[in-house]
Amino acid sequence: MDWEFLDIANEFNSGISPSIQSDASYHIIISDDEILSINGVHPWRPLNQDEWRWSGLDATVEHYLGEAMGIPIFACEVDPEADNPPGYEFETLWTFLGQVDEPIFYLIGRAKQIVEWHRDHQFCGQCGAPTTASEKDRSRVCKACSQTFYPRLSPSIIALVTKGEELLLAKNTRARGNFYSTLAGFIEPGESIEEAVHREVYEEVGIRIKNLRYYSSQSWPFPNSLMLGFHAEYDSGEFVLQKDEIVDAQWFYYQNLPNRPAMFSISGWLIDDYIKRLQNQQ
Ligand SMILES: [Zn+2]
């Protein structure tokens, strides 16, 4: 079946080994953090079985990701020293952001994260013995000391703080250009998600918030974040900025916002969602 007819959003089932035989398959090729694209094919798609076979590349390791409508999909890691096959090009994950449909972007992110996890867990972090793949689930096991290593996710919170018709947006020290966004940070060990939201907002801009409402989440594979998005309301305090993180933070009237995140990020969704609510109230 052609790639364009595979409904990745609704029909993808993840797994660790194929449960059915199929003549067709798709292959996401990863070399040194970059993903192989076929020149002239837009939008991007993985290589089909024949393209992969004739590409001249060999997989150092192949991971079954799952199947969509009976067609298995694999992530294939290749030697970073191998030559670029003619007609193909390796591109960074950033290149795909906003350029492919979201389910495809998350599938590519999944492939890249699994390849990286596998590469980084060849040896046990506790005793140094080689690990082996578990037959039960996506993990690597150290037989010497019984440790199990799963693909790592780093949960982060992201919060849009509001005060009536005003939105709190901040310019991060790492942001490129004149660009304001919602506040975000990693969850610390021992913390609940909600505690992390309160702490991050207070640390970054010095204010207290209330009425947290969970909005939605987004896989953010740069390199392995899981973003948990919240709406929150201003409670008390004045801005005290965390200088090494935040250059500027302001309350912006919703009809007069600065440059803000694109709609392929949860930050953009949160802002858009709040503006729509305000508009619906009128
Ligand atoms: Zn061990």
Q: How many domains does the chain have?
A: 2
Query: 145 CA to middle of ligand 1, Å?
Result: 4
Q: How far is the CA of 131 from the centre of ligand 1 (A)?
A: 8
Q: How far is the CA of 232 from the centre of ligand 1 (A)?
A: 43
- The C-alpha atoms of residue 261 and residue 175 are separated, in whole angstroms, by 11
Does 102 lie in the same domain as 189?
A: no
Q: Which of 120, 146, 176 is the last residue of a domain?
A: 120
**Does residue 129 lie in a domain region?**
no
Range of the domain at 20: 3-120
149 within some domain: no
> 91 has which bridge partners?
35
Considering the domain boundaries, does residue 243 fall inside one?
Answer: yes
Q: How far is the CA of 62 from the centre of ligand 1 (A)?
A: 24
How far does residue 267's CA lie from ligand 1's centre (Å)?
40
Residues, CB within 5 angstroms of ligand 1 (ion): 124, 126-127, 129, 142, 144-145, 147
Residue 143 lies in a domain: no
Residue 116 sits at φ, ψ, to 5 deg, of -70, -40
Q: Are residues 160 and 275 in the same domain?
A: yes
Interval between CA 133 and ligand 1 midpoint (Å): 13
* Single pTM value for the model: 0.93
CA of 115 to the centre of ligand 1 (A): 21
The pairing of beta strand 166-172 with beta strand 132-133: unpaired
Residue 132 covered by a domain:
no
Q: How far away, in angstroms, is 130 Cα from ligand 1 center? A: 8
In-domain check, residue 141: no
Residues 116, 158: one domain?
no
Q: Are residues 272 and 180 in the same domain?
A: yes
Q: Which whole-number Å values give the CA distances from 179 to 176, 184, 224, 229, 246, in the listed order?
A: 7, 15, 23, 19, 12
Q: How far is the CA of 140 from the centre of ligand 1 (A)?
A: 11
Q: Tens-digit pLDDT profile for the chain (282 aa)?
A: 899 999 999 999 999 999 888 889 999 999 999 999 999 999 999 999 999 999 999 999 999 999 999 999 999 999 999 888 999 999 999 999 999 999 999 999 999 999 999 999 999 999 999 999 999 999 999 999 999 999 999 999 999 999 999 999 999 998 877 899 999 999 999 999 999 999 999 999 999 999 999 999 999 999 999 999 999 999 999 999 999 999 999 999 999 999 988 889 999 999 999 999 999 987
Whether 110 and 189 share a structural domain = no
Q: How far apart are CA 106 and CA 118, in angstroms?
A: 18
249/166 same-domain check:
yes
Indicate if 179 and 256 belong to the same structural domain: yes
Q: Which of 74, 100, 120 delimits the end of a domain?
A: 120
Co-location of 197 and 270 in the same domain: yes
Task: Check whether residue 105 and residue 172 sit in a common domain.
Answer: no
The domain spanning residue 163 has which CATH number? 3.90.79.10
Contact by Cβ (8 Å): 79, 60: yes
Domain end among 67, 96, 120: 120
CA of 138 to the centre of ligand 1 (A): 17
Q: 142 CA to middle of ligand 1, Å?
A: 5
CA of 124 to the centre of ligand 1 (A): 5
User: What CATH number does the domain containing 105 carry?
Assistant: 3.90.79
Same domain for 273 and 171: yes
Dihedral (CA of 197, 187, 243, 220) sign: negative
Q: Are residues 108 and 160 in the same domain?
A: no
What separation in Å is there between the alpha carbon of 153 and the centre of ligand 1?
21
Is 142 among the domain residues?
A: no
The predicted structure's pLDDT at residue 262: 85
125 in a structural domain: no
Same domain, 113 and 187: no
